[in-house]
Amino acid sequence: MSIVTTTSKQSTYEQRKLRRPNLFDIGVPFAAAICEAETELVASIFCDPVRSVPIVRDLGIRISFFKEEDLRILAAASFVAADRQLTKDRLLRLASRLLKSDGWWDDNAPVAPPFSCRWSAGNLQILANTEFFCRPVLHRNARNLIDLLTRKAEVRAHLNRAGELMEGPWPRLAV
């Protein structure tokens, strides 16, 4: 058995390459990938929910798939807009009301990317008009999110099983 030593001149990155990755090293980029996938899917739905929502529903997407609260609100507004055949203006009013009622609204939020987790009329307009309806993009974005969430569930199952093997049953991690 050998012990890996590092010199003080090695960068932190080089030091990390010498050891096994831990859950933080793996989990943070994975969580960021899920957040990005949620954002991409919401953007591709929000631009034209009347046409987009039936497609993503058929692919298996549900509002509960969106773990970021503000994105879940925007997805829910899009699903309601599709069900009620709302115009884009009515979708924007609905989304702003929901975001305000849940504390995600800030009239002074930045209007240009990168957005914060706060929403304003300006960045909702950008979200509604940045993308355009495109079936292949919807398919790609929906499948990407489903794939990431499936992998996340598999990781949680493996972690639960590993805990049981090491110490007996763990409290179950929520999926």
| Mean per-residue pLDDT over the chain, rounded | 85
What is residue 119's DSSP assignment? B
Burial label, 104 (beta-carbon count in 10 A; 0-12, 13-18, 19+): buried
> Phi and psi at residue 164, in whole multiples of 5°?
-65, -40
**Which residue, among 61, 62, 80, 71, has the nearest Cα to 142 in the 3D structure?**
61
Instruction: List, in order, residues 6 or more apart from 121 with CB less than 8 Å away.
Output: 92, 96, 107
User: What gap in Å lies between CA 92 and CA 27, rounded to an integer?
Assistant: 34
- The number of residues making up the chain comes to 175
Per residue of the chain (175 residues), give pLDDT as tens. Answer: 445 455 555 666 666 555 666 677 778 888 899 999 999 999 999 999 999 999 999 999 999 999 999 999 999 999 999 999 999 999 999 999 999 999 999 988 877 665 567 899 998 998 898 888 999 999 999 999 999 999 998 988 888 787 777 776 656 666 5
Could you tell me the maximum CA-CA distance found in the chain, to the nearest angstrom? 67
Strand locations in 56-142, DSSP E? none
What is residue 110's DSSP assignment? -
User: What gap in Å lies between CA 113 and CA 129, rounded to an integer?
Assistant: 14
What is residue 64's DSSP assignment? G
| Domain regions of the chain by residue span | 23-164
